[in-house]
Amino acid sequence: MSASVPANTVRSAQEDILNAAAQCFMDRGYAATSIDDVARSLGATKGRIYHHYRSKADLFFDVYRHGMQMNFDIVAPIAEQSLPTIDKLQRMTKEHCLAMIRTQPFQRCVWEGVEMLKRGATTPEQRDVLIELQAMRDNYADIFRAVIEQAKAEGTAQFESSSIALQLMFMSLNSPLFWFRRRDGQDNDIVDEIANQCAIFALRGLGLKEELITDV
Partner DNA sequence: ATTGACAACATACCCGGTAGTATGTTCCTC
Partner DNA sequence: GAGGAACATACTACCGGGTATGTTGTCAAT
Inter-residue contact 108 to 26 (CB < 8 Å): yes
d(CA 120, CA 168) in angstroms, rounded, equals: 23
- Shortest Cβ distance from residue 171 to a second copy (Å)? 4
- Total of chain residues touching a second copy, rule CB under 8 A: 32
Which of the choices DNA, a second copy, none does residue 55 contact, using the CB cut-off of 5 to 8 A by kind? DNA
Residue of 46, 61, 39, 140 whose CA lies nearest to 95? 140
Which of the choices a second copy, DNA, none does residue 1 contact, using the CB cut-off of 5 to 8 A by kind? none
Go through the chain and tell me how many residues it has.
Answer: 216
Q: Is 213 helix (H, G, I), strand (E, B) or coil?
A: coil
Q: Choose, by CB under 8 A, the member of 45, 81, 197, 214 that binds a second copy.
A: 197
d(CA 63, CA 83) in angstroms, rounded, equals: 32
> Does the protein bind a second copy through residue 135 (CB under 8 A)?
no
- Shortest Cβ distance from residue 63 to DNA (Å)? 14
Burial of 125 (0-12, 13-18, 19+ CB in 10 A): exposed
Q: Where are the beta strands (DSSP E) in 14-110?
A: none
For the chain, how big is the Rg over CA atoms in Å? 19
Q: Choose, by CB under 8 A, the member of 15, 29, 34, 123 that binds a second copy.
A: 29
60/111 with CB nearer DNA: 60
Which of the choices a second copy, DNA, none does residue 204 contact, using the CB cut-off of 5 to 8 A by kind? a second copy
Q: Choose, by CB under 8 A, the member of 119, 184, 187, 189 that binds a second copy.
A: 119
Residue of 209, 174, 164 whose CA lies nearest to 195? 174
Inter-residue contact 191 to 99 (CB < 8 Å): no
> Does the protein bind DNA through residue 206 (CB under 7 A)?
no
Binding mask 51-90 for DNA (x = CB under 7 A): x--xxxx---------------------------------
d(CA 155, CA 166) in angstroms, rounded, equals: 17
The residues of the shown chain that bind a second copy, judged by CB under 8 A, are 27-29, 31-32, 115, 119, 121, 159-161, 164-165, 167-168, 171-172, 174-175, 178-179, 193-194, 197-198, 201-202, 204-207, 210
The residues of the shown chain that bind DNA, judged by CB under 7 A, are 2-6, 9-10, 13, 33-36, 39, 43-48, 50-51, 54-57
